[in-house]
Amino acid sequence: MELGLVWLLRAAWIAGTLPILVASIPCSRLSSFHGLLLGFAKRGKIMQSSSKKFTLPQKFFGHFYVLAVVWTTILLAATWIYAYRTVPMVSKPFHYSTIANQLAGGSHIFSWLKSHSTPVEYRYSVWRSVFVLLLMEVHVLRRLYETIYVFNYSPSARMHVLGYLTGLFFYTAAPLSLCCNCIPEVYKFVLNGVAEFIVKGKSRMPAMEIDWWEFVIPLVKLGWLQWIGAAIFLWGWIHQHHCHAILGSLRESREQADEYVIPHGDWFKFVSSPHYLAEIVLYSGVLVASGGRDLTIWLLFVFVVANLAFAAAETHRWYLRKFENYPRNRVAIIPFVY
């Protein structure tokens, strides 16, 4: 199951990235393909309000983050409890009484024995998954908050139904990719717990006691790479929030719902889509925090970069067409480069 899931996720990220890379090649023979893909990717101001065929209101963006919060919370809770119960990083002193207690606990002796025979590298990989899922949770919670309280989508703003489905796929597959190295074991752990609950009932289930020190301290012990990744993530996270606040304030300050103005402030000084740039920065932080050893997370990151760069290029062209006084020193998404 593990290899099957991993390769399925990798194939999905490759399948999602390749068309974007092909469409980005500056070749006249590919212009029709570029236009086709762009039609699926357009949304909001760069999509003509008159073209409503196969489109949905852009406010449906909120569905992405409701799904993301629920799904990421489930994966985070399950993986964290699995890590705490099965692959603890805090070693307990060995006593013969401990063995007696575990033997008295029946089936729990097997999980106890497994926790004391698990390779150290696997333990670290599981706790790294908990760490990056925690970062993802912080990210999607903010995005949900912004969708409700910061953005005020125009009633005429639309997005293509395939773009909507792509968003649902992304926020299902992205959290799963962050813990794909251990999710089969987590799934078995949860399934065994549910089966035990069904057989024994609530009254006969052993009470779950949590030592909060052992529950949290492994995240601190992971290493400097995780905290560098968290710092990069936080840097992008803060700037994205600032940029979203700027975009939200533009809509709040206008009387006409479909009138656009040039945004200024924060990273808008350098690029036309600084919120996309910040998204790339924070996902690079997640990549660093993961340890950079998992090909699946690398492919997720490449998809994020390709997708956002493709959308940012069209947004930049729209700004240049829309405003004659648009700042010429701004580029699409990568400062001073692209």
What SS3 state is found at 151?
Answer: coil
Encode the chain (338 residues) as per-residue pLDDT tens digits. Answer: 556 889 999 999 999 999 999 998 888 888 888 888 887 777 766 665 555 677 888 888 899 999 999 999 999 999 999 999 888 876 554 444 444 444 444 444 444 445 445 688 888 999 999 999 999 999 999 999 999 999 877 777 788 889 899 999 999 999 999 999 899 999 998 888 888 767 776 666 666 667 777 788 888 888 899 999 999 999 999 999 999 999 988 876 545 455 788 999 999 999 999 999 999 999 999 999 999 999 999 999 999 999 999 999 999 999 999 999 999 999 999 999 98
Which has the closest alpha carbon to 296: 132, 162, 137, 185?
132
Q: How far is CA 180 from CA 60, 142, 290, in A?
A: 28, 24, 12
DSSP class of 56: E
Helix/strand/coil (H/E/C) assignment for every residue in 91-127: CCCCCHHHHHHHHHCCCHHHHHHHHCCCCHHHHHHHH
Q: How far apart are CA 96 and CA 103, in angstroms?
A: 11
Per-residue model confidence (pLDDT) at position 40: 78
Q: How far apart are CA 216 and CA 232, in angstroms?
A: 21
pTM, entire model: 0.86
Sorted by where each begins, the domain ranges of the chain are 1-88+119-322
